[in-house]
Structures are given as structure tokens and as C-alpha cells.
Amino acid sequence: METLLPHEIAHQWWGNEVGWKTYHDQWLSEGFATYAAALLMAKRDGEKKFGELLKKYRRELLAKNQTGAKVESGGPIWLGERLSTSLNPRGYNDIVYKKACWVLHMLHVLMTDQETGSGQSKTQSAAEGRFIKMLGDFVSAYRGQSPSTEDFIRFAEKYMPPAMDLDHNGSLDWFFKDWVYGTGVPAYKLETKIRRSTGGRLAVEGTIEQNGVPEGFEMLVPVVAVYDKNQKVKLGLVPVGDSGGHFQFVVASRPHRVTIDSDDLLAVVE
């Protein structure tokens, strides 16, 4: 209920100013309005409440439907209103609204410049990042029109930083193939070790194993170091695919632990 009114207000832009081409593309309205409401919560009530909302959405997506399968497995976002069935009655609501909200949040995180974003809060990044500029420019470019999902993908590609170009072809197809046209919530298992490096610094090395998703699934996984008072320092984004992911980061002081930042990822972190 906290997000209901902001969600409906957000439809002034997502749904009214900019429509959608077919029922396959309705997430461009409902998912975008859901994420806009979540960003307002972050600004109004703080990042803790924002994080709690995303965790709630994740729990609902991973809940079991009447067949014992995960709600998220009922079909891809692109299937639209056909997601709700007698066996998965909340499919449309949970996938087109809540999974799409997560997809936009992950796109937001991946688009955030790692250098200029360092040390900023998520809400600061939301106000200043290329993702927000991309959304504003998208509204301007498609005002009074009904774009497709493909239109949005091609538009978003103009704003992606180099680290997002996993396939080295200037395309975001890898991201949308996994998250909008496909199903599956990955499970990640992290193993790390810390060793002395040059100049008295420390090297954090590790591997990330991926399970629970179709072959060919790729993702940039955020890895953070946790220090005193639960302070998180983002180390970087690690490409993870069928063969897992490997990384090495240099830090000035030994963290209490190194972990995958599950706050910014629709995944099960083991």
C-alpha cells in the first residue's frame, strides 16, 4: 500500500506519456511505474526501506505456486498478461510488476559509473547516474508513442558503460535475454582468499559458481568488502557465466568478509 499511490502517479509518464506496443511490452508501463515508486521510497524513507521492499519482491518471486514450482518460473516478463494461469494466478502481477522492478534496479546498478559512484549512496547514484538520464531521454524520445521492448533495449545500449559490453558487440541482448525474454533466478556460491600484495596492500581473489539458470545465462555480479559497522565498499562487477567467474581486487586493509551484494541482485546467494 505504501507504493500504490506513487505507482499510479508514475503512470503519468509510464503508460500515459509513453505507452507500450503490445501486451508483450506492458512491463514498460507497470514495471517502470513500480520501480519509480520504489525509488521514491528510497528518497522518502531511506535505503533500508527500499532494500526491504526489494527483498519482499524477491521472496514472492521465489515462493512456490500450486504446482510446487517457483512463481518466477511461470514465464518470462515478455509473456505479459498470459503469465496468470489457474496454476500460477499471481504470475502477471509478480513477474510483470515485481520482477521487472528488479530488472530495472539491476540495470540501474550496472549502469552506475563505478568511479563516480564510489562512496555515494544508492539514492545519490539514482539522482545523478546515467540510468536516470537514460529514462528521461527515453520519455522525451518516445513521448506520445508506443515503443516495444526492442526499442527500449536499443535505446538503453546508447548509455551503457564499457563494463556492460559482455559480448563485445555494443549490445545489451545478453542482459535482456536472461531477464526479460527468459526465466531463472541464479544461485551464486562465492569462495575467496586474501593474500599479501605489493606495497603492503592486500589482494582479494575468488571464484563465483553459478547454478539454477539455463545454459548461456550471463550476469555481472557485484562483489563488496564489508568493514566495521557493516560498511560496504564495492570492489567491482564480476562477469559470471556457465564456467563461473574469477576475480582479483586490491584493497588497502583487510575486510571482515567479502561477499556478493545481494541487495543489488535478483539471486540466491549461498
Q: pLDDT tens digit string along 180-208?
A: 999 999 999 999 999 988 777 899 999 99
256 to each of 96, 141, 236, how far by Cα in Å?
38, 47, 17
Which segments of the chain belong to CATH 2.60.40? 187-269
Q: What is the pLDDT of residue 200?
A: 78
User: What is the model's pLDDT at position 127?
Assistant: 36
The pLDDT of residue 115 is: 44
| Phi and psi angles of residue 194, each rounded to the nearest 5 degrees, phi first | -120, 130
Q: What is the pLDDT of residue 128?
A: 53
Residue 236's Cβ-count burial label (10 Å; 0-12, 13-18, 19+) is middle
Residue 189 pairs with which residues in a beta bridge? 209
CA dist 82 and 227 (Å) reads: 46
In the CATH scheme, what is the homologous superfamily, with its name and number, of domain 4-179? Neutral Protease Domain 2 (1.10.390.10)
User: What is the predicted pLDDT for the residue at 244?
Assistant: 97
Is the Cα torsion angle 258, 264, 265, 266 positive or negative in sign? positive
70-95 in b/e burial notation, b at 16+ Cβ within 10 A? bbbbbbbbbbbeebbeeebebbbebb
Phi/psi at 252 (5° precision) = -80, -30
Cell numbers placing 123: 539514492
Q: Which CA distances in Å does 104 have to 32, 131, 165, 176?
A: 7, 9, 17, 11
User: Could you read off the pLDDT of 59-83 as tens digits, one per residue?
Assistant: 999 999 888 999 999 999 999 999 9
Q: pTM here?
A: 0.92
Q: What is the secondary structure of the chain as a DSSP string?
A: -TTHHHHHHHTTTBTTTB--SSGGGTHHHHHHHHHHHHHHHHHHH-HHHHHHHHHHHHHHHHSB-TTSSBGGGG--GGGGGGG--SSSTTHHIIIIIIIHHHHHHHHHHHHS-TTTTTT--HHHHHHHSHHHHHHHHHHHHHTTS---HHHHHHHHGGG--GGG-TTSSS--HHHHHHHTSS----EEEEEEEEEE-GGG-EEEEEEEEEESS-TT--EEEEEEEE-GGG-EEEEEEEEEBTTBEEEEEEESS--SEEEE-GGG-SSEE-
pLDDT at 201 (0 to 100): 86
- Residue range 187-269 in CATH 2.60.40: yes
In the chain, list all ranges with CATH 1.10.390.10.
4-179
pLDDT for the residue numbered 137: 97
pLDDT at position 116? 39
Under-70 pLDDT residues of the chain:
1, 113-128
